[in-house]
Chains A and B, each alone.
Chain A
Amino acid sequence: MSYTIASNLKQAIKILKESDGKAQVIAGATDLFLENLPSELVDVSAVPEILGITRGKDFLSIGAGVTHAEAAASSVIRSEAEALSEACRIVGSPQVRNMGTLGGNVINAAPAADAAVALVALGAKAVLTDLYGSSREAFVVDLYGGYNRSSVDSSAEILMRFLLKPAQRGEGSAFLRFAPRAALALPLVNAAARIRVEQSLIKEARIVIAPAKPAPTRLLETEKLLLGAKPGLDLWQKVKSTASSEIEVRGSMLRCSEEYRCHLVGVLARRVSQQAVVRAMEAE
């Protein structure tokens, strides 16, 4: 087995090319297990081209190599993408947050990866580059290829950065996680929301829940219910029941029953939406 820490993009690409599909990109390695190790690994977490957080005029760019700890500490992310900031603050443990990267979190493709759930709710796009220098953009949600499987071939493409729309006027986002222990535990449910209000009416809403399907899942019925609505007790009651009933979740012996997870989906969808609305109104 070989493990190379690439110092720049060119070197990473060169190794990938030469390995003829055997080498795989890794960034953070917190979910790298001794079983089924690929024979060659290229660690890109120090590649300068995938680092850094940049606020442009109408975009926010977050390098795929940014660690959860860096993202959690970033004031730009806190003000422009609060859901992501909250998600990054709660991932794993301090050690995992110091090592694990946002790119790794997405490509690892765990169904309820905290940062990925927030990125999907925020409508983030991923920028990828192949070994011949051409780039493509894709929504984060489209990078999932199945349970714990990314559609990105990490022997042939490198995830460079995420692009987000910065928070607009009247917009707020939030992230919530419900886990059986305060650190180092898979969540029973996590939820993220991005909501925009205008004159006290909800004008845009993206509500995302996991784990339900291979990828973080938007609650389309719930979003429909929110659109154009005026926040109030009645609405929140309906958000809870609609969210609970609109997607199927699974139960497991190690985590919780299907019935309880379904209940939590409703509660978390409502709480995360409420939180996002409060923030949106503050930003109006």
Chain B
Amino acid sequence: MPIDKEKGFDAKNNSSGATVNQGPDVWAKAAGRALYGIDLQLPGMLYGKILRSPHPHARIKAIDTAEADALPGVRAVLTASDIKKKRYGIVVQDELPLAYDRVRYIGDEVAAVAAVDEKSASRALEALNVEYEPLSAVFEPKAALAQGAVQIHDQFPGNIAWQRELERGNPDRAFKEADLVVENSFSIPSVHPTYLEPIACVASSDYPGNLTIHTALQSPDIVRDIIAGALELPFSKVRIVGPVMGGGFGGRVYGNLKLYLLSSLLSQFTGLPVKMQLSREEEFCIGRPMIAAELKIKMALRSDGTFLARESEIVTDNGAYSAQAPWVSKTLSERNDSVYRIPNIRTRACLVYTNKVPTAQYRAYGNQAANFACESLIDQAAEKLGLDPLQIRLNNCTQAGDTTVHGLKIKSCALKDCLKEAAAKIGWSNRNKNCGYGISAGIHASGSLVANKDFRGASARAVLELDGRVTLFSGEQDYGQGTYGAFTNIAAGVLELDPDLFSLNCRDSLITPYSQGALANRQTTIGGRAVQLAAADLKKLIEEAASEMAGEPVRMEKGRLKSNDGSIMELAAVAVYYHNRTSGLTLTGEGSYVPPPVEYDETSYGNISVTYSFAAHAAEVEVDRETGAFTIKRIASVHDSGRIINPLAARGQVYGGVAQGVGFSCYEGYLFDRGRVVSKTLADYRIPTALDVPHIACCFIETTDPEGPLGVKGLGEVVQVPVPGALANAVADAAGVRVTELPITAEKIYRAISKGECAR
């Protein structure tokens, strides 16, 4: 159903009646006028390309660059011997801009060239001669963990990139006292965020050594930190300017650091701007998908369905380099424990190096991968106990006021109502016996503070321009999720001005406040609060300047400046007054939002986020038992994301996130052949088409959160979390057998049915 036809849906106003502005990017994108990274052109620009390893693991014996250097149009050929051997990384320092002595996966960067056009750059790559000595390689975590396995990084013995053992409560006692113990193993492949625009950048280094990188990033300031560190440049000399971002889905928090570093190095060597862009095939083969995971989980329950304990053994596949994989592994291994009241937990998680594409992060940070396993197992338990899958969830779900097993403090939570509403929307009490039904619940941190305990918040500036308009400055990023619209609406709400009077500057690190960027569902929650405070500060400053100008107290009400006698002053007049009086200053409101300090111990027990969003999804599917083919008929997606300030954009997030969740659950997944990515085109790495996405019934249960600005909580990530669990349970209900390996495909259902596996 078209959303504007939905009963009671109003795209123009939110539930408090405020008018909603969609933000400056929306119309540019709709009109095809937005400029993306791929459109960038600078005068004198060169084109950079990367020579990549054809071997999954090999020693580099020699690189001969003479022939490439001599080609016409070639301006620079870089190998590891031309640059400093300084390792960098996001969590662990395990990468170099170019491989020095060893390549560790098919695609590892060996050399970079810059030439006057793409053809010349390609010819230069062909003219490079590299002598390799192939080494034995490991492709599966199990093989990499085995005694005597080849060591991928000398500094990480046993190929272990990261590991964690965690115990809360007394799981041994809980398992001993349980009436029922269920267990199963699940496997989830690597997935790519598959943003529409492959990553592109232009790096430009000038003579005094200022480096400007033009590229669209979710967290440009964090990337500036890493680039400055890796290139040993002063932080203030690195500037990132963003074109419009063609999707990110978590994959562009750090984007592709190799690409930024190599284009910067090439620009430093040539003194000219250097453009680099990934092809779609490169995106799949080297473009940092999310980790693959194997989960073995066990649950203890009382006969009435009360959850007593969960034990998980998790192995995640890191690929050749680490990026954010340790953090993703951590979220994957613990976030689902807080969806329900589970007092006893034991988790062993291990992230393992293999000779495959390095991994990174993706929307929901592995939370959705673990949801598939945890929610599947809950249905197994419910069936063994003869309990309704909805009821067992209602009986155990987390509620407002709870402190969860990992110490998360839940200040607002409508999960119970979300479950009830999702069930109602799918027709849970009146289920069609020819279909299967599944329900699942999720939590996601909104404004997570674990990335930097000291820098928890955000800041923003609001400037009254001489023409009476307001310009906002924030370092937060919009890549389609509606941040800019939300910021405009928040500031417009505070000043009670028409949203059309606002302009927004977010994409140039030279002029915007330092920011953590678009990660951890913090944009509207934390960045929005800073904008709100900046707008309030500006309002105060305007009133002060206006009072001074009028010589009597002036108040700003309903967007108008009024003195006691009722006379009205123009905003522009006040701006000009202040500008003249100070010889050039502008009225600038500053907002700094610092969330309360977080306390978590060395086991990360504690309240790690400003607040938490919740969701429950229910799915209806039909299975053709003869072939295993299935049709997802409907998904009901019910959310507690606090107050919804932009209903149209919020719905857009739900539709897109559920569609992507459908892809994650039933279509996508990397396929490898001895370390080589086989699914490397959009024809073979299948994301769902419009025809594959079911009808989505979307609903928000608005709570008022004490933390976020105007009571809002994040939505962009949590929306994908419950999809795999709901679909897995619906398929199991329809087919009578359970698929434990994503993606759920017709062939896997058919095999499970033919084997008569009744692990349901």
Residues 623 to 647 of chain B near chain A (Cβ within 8 Å): 626-627, 629
The smallest beta-carbon distance between A79 and chain B, in angstroms, is: 26
Q: Given A254-B684, A260-B750, verify A181-B627 contact (CB < 8 Å).
A: no
Q: Given A178-B627, A184-B683, verify A253-B688 contact (CB < 8 Å).
A: no
The smallest beta-carbon distance between B85 and chain A, in angstroms, is: 37
A254 touches B689 (CB 8 A): no
| Chain B residues positioned under 8 Å from A264 (CB to CB) | 627
The smallest beta-carbon distance between A109 and chain B, in angstroms, is: 18
| Chain A residues positioned under 8 Å from B689 (CB to CB) | 93, 181-184
The smallest beta-carbon distance between A241 and chain B, in angstroms, is: 13
Interchain CA distance A277-B683 in the complex, whole Å = 35
Q: Given A260-B750, A264-B627, verify A180-B691 contact (CB < 8 Å).
A: no
B195 interface residue (CB < 8 Å to A): no
| Chain A residues positioned under 8 Å from B747 (CB to CB) | 256-257, 260
The smallest beta-carbon distance between A282 and chain B, in angstroms, is: 24
The smallest beta-carbon distance between A158 and chain B, in angstroms, is: 29
Interchain CA distance A183-B689 in the complex, whole Å = 7
The smallest beta-carbon distance between B140 and chain A, in angstroms, is: 15
B745 touches A253 (CB 8 A): no
| Chain A residues positioned under 8 Å from B691 (CB to CB) | 181-183
Interchain CA distance A184-B682 in the complex, whole Å = 10
| Chain A residues positioned under 8 Å from B667 (CB to CB) | 180-181
B678 touches A253 (CB 8 A): yes
The smallest beta-carbon distance between B243 and chain A, in angstroms, is: 25
The smallest beta-carbon distance between B631 and chain A, in angstroms, is: 9
The smallest beta-carbon distance between A14 and chain B, in angstroms, is: 33
Question: Which residue among A184, A186, A253, A260 has the maximum number of chain B CB atoms within 10 Å of its CB?
Answer: A260
| Chain A residues positioned under 8 Å from B684 (CB to CB) | 254
The smallest beta-carbon distance between B185 and chain A, in angstroms, is: 21
Interchain CA distance A184-B684 in the complex, whole Å = 10
A263 interface residue (CB < 8 Å to B): yes
Residues 656 to 688 of chain B near chain A (Cβ within 8 Å): 667, 671, 673, 678-679, 683-684, 686, 688
The smallest beta-carbon distance between B751 and chain A, in angstroms, is: 8
B746 touches A180 (CB 8 A): yes
| Chain B residues positioned under 8 Å from A180 (CB to CB) | 667, 686, 745-746
Interchain CA distance A253-B750 in the complex, whole Å = 17
The smallest beta-carbon distance between B534 and chain A, in angstroms, is: 46
Q: Closest chain B residue to A261 by CB distance? A: B747
A73 interface residue (CB < 8 Å to B): no
| Chain A residues positioned under 8 Å from B746 (CB to CB) | 178, 180
Residues 135 to 189 of chain A near chain B (Cβ within 8 Å): 178, 180-186
A254 touches B627 (CB 8 A): no
Residues 250 to 284 of chain A near chain B (Cβ within 8 Å): 253-254, 256-257, 260, 263-264, 267
The smallest beta-carbon distance between B277 and chain A, in angstroms, is: 16
Interchain CA distance A11-B357 in the complex, whole Å = 51
Residues 704 to 743 of chain B near chain A (Cβ within 8 Å): none
The smallest beta-carbon distance between B595 and chain A, in angstroms, is: 43
| Chain B residues positioned under 8 Å from A260 (CB to CB) | 747, 750-751
Interchain CA distance A93-B688 in the complex, whole Å = 13
Interchain CA distance A263-B625 in the complex, whole Å = 13
| Chain B residues positioned under 8 Å from A186 (CB to CB) | 683
The smallest beta-carbon distance between B660 and chain A, in angstroms, is: 15
Interchain CA distance A182-B683 in the complex, whole Å = 13
Interchain CA distance A150-B678 in the complex, whole Å = 27
A178 touches B629 (CB 8 A): yes
Interchain CA distance A181-B663 in the complex, whole Å = 10
B95 interface residue (CB < 8 Å to A): no
| Chain B residues positioned under 8 Å from A184 (CB to CB) | 683, 689
Q: Is the interface of B mostly helix, strand, loop or mixed?
A: loop
B750 touches A263 (CB 8 A): yes
The smallest beta-carbon distance between B540 and chain A, in angstroms, is: 55
Residues 586 to 629 of chain B near chain A (Cβ within 8 Å): 626-627, 629
Q: Closest chain B residue to A252 by CB distance? A: B678
B417 interface residue (CB < 8 Å to A): no
Q: Closest chain A residue to B684 by CB distance? A: A254
Q: Closest chain A residue to B685 by CB distance? A: A254
Q: Closest chain B residue to A184 by CB distance? A: B689
Q: Closest chain B residue to A186 by CB distance? A: B683
B692 interface residue (CB < 8 Å to A): yes
Interchain CA distance A207-B689 in the complex, whole Å = 30
| Chain B residues positioned under 8 Å from A181 (CB to CB) | 667, 686, 688-689, 691-692
Q: Closest chain A residue to B679 by CB distance? A: A254
Interchain CA distance A260-B679 in the complex, whole Å = 20
Interchain CA distance A181-B690 in the complex, whole Å = 10
Interchain CA distance A183-B690 in the complex, whole Å = 9
| Chain A residues positioned under 8 Å from B683 (CB to CB) | 184-186
Interchain CA distance A78-B626 in the complex, whole Å = 29
B671 touches A254 (CB 8 A): yes
| Chain B residues positioned under 8 Å from A178 (CB to CB) | 627, 629, 746
The smallest beta-carbon distance between B192 and chain A, in angstroms, is: 15
The smallest beta-carbon distance between A190 and chain B, in angstroms, is: 13
The smallest beta-carbon distance between B539 and chain A, in angstroms, is: 51
Interchain CA distance A256-B628 in the complex, whole Å = 13
The smallest beta-carbon distance between B638 and chain A, in angstroms, is: 26
The smallest beta-carbon distance between B625 and chain A, in angstroms, is: 11
Interchain CA distance A260-B752 in the complex, whole Å = 12
Interchain CA distance A254-B671 in the complex, whole Å = 8
B673 touches A253 (CB 8 A): yes
Pick the contact of B671: A185, A253, A263, A267 (CB < 8 A).
A253
| Chain A residues positioned under 8 Å from B627 (CB to CB) | 178, 263-264, 267
Interchain CA distance A185-B681 in the complex, whole Å = 12
Interchain CA distance A213-B667 in the complex, whole Å = 27
| Chain A residues positioned under 8 Å from B678 (CB to CB) | 253-254
Pick the contact of A182: B692, B745, B750 (CB < 8 A).
B692
The smallest beta-carbon distance between A263 and chain B, in angstroms, is: 7
Interchain CA distance A180-B678 in the complex, whole Å = 16
Interchain CA distance A48-B691 in the complex, whole Å = 34
Q: Closest chain B residue to A183 by CB distance? A: B689
Interchain CA distance A264-B751 in the complex, whole Å = 12
Q: Closest chain B residue to A271 by CB distance? A: B626
The smallest beta-carbon distance between A244 and chain B, in angstroms, is: 12
A185 touches B673 (CB 8 A): no
Interchain CA distance A254-B673 in the complex, whole Å = 11
The smallest beta-carbon distance between A83 and chain B, in angstroms, is: 20
Interchain CA distance A186-B682 in the complex, whole Å = 12
Residues 87 to 113 of chain B near chain A (Cβ within 8 Å): none
| Chain B residues positioned under 8 Å from A254 (CB to CB) | 671, 678-679, 684
Q: Closest chain A residue to B673 by CB distance? A: A253
| Chain B residues positioned under 8 Å from A263 (CB to CB) | 627, 750
Interchain CA distance A182-B662 in the complex, whole Å = 13
| Chain B residues positioned under 8 Å from A267 (CB to CB) | 626-627
Q: Closest chain B residue to A264 by CB distance? A: B627
| Chain B residues positioned under 8 Å from A93 (CB to CB) | 689
Question: Which residue among B627, B688, B691 has the maximum number of chain A CB atoms within 10 Å of its CB?
Answer: B627
Q: Closest chain A residue to B686 by CB distance? A: A181
Interchain CA distance A18-B679 in the complex, whole Å = 42
Interchain CA distance A112-B679 in the complex, whole Å = 20
The smallest beta-carbon distance between B672 and chain A, in angstroms, is: 9
The smallest beta-carbon distance between B495 and chain A, in angstroms, is: 46
Q: Closest chain B residue to A182 by CB distance? A: B691
0 or 1 for each of B291-314: is its CB under 8 Å from A? (1 = yes): 000000000000000000000000
Given A180-B746, A253-B671, A254-B679, 15 other A-B contacts at CB below 8 A? A178-B627, A178-B629, A180-B667, A181-B667, A181-B691, A183-B689, A183-B692, A184-B689, A253-B678, A256-B747, A260-B750, A263-B627, A263-B750, A264-B627, A267-B627
A-B pairs, 10 with minimum CB distance? A182-B691, A183-B689, A260-B747, A182-B692, A183-B691, A256-B747, A254-B684, A181-B686, A253-B671, A181-B692
Q: Which A residues have a C-beta under 8 Å from some C-beta of B?
A: 93, 178, 180-186, 253-254, 256-257, 260, 263-264, 267
6 inter-chain pairs at a CB distance below 8 angstroms, sorted by A residue, are: A181-B688, A181-B691, A183-B690, A183-B692, A256-B747, A263-B750
Q: Which B residues have a C-beta under 8 Å from some C-beta of A?
A: 626-627, 629, 667, 671, 673, 678-679, 683-684, 686, 688-692, 745-747, 750-751
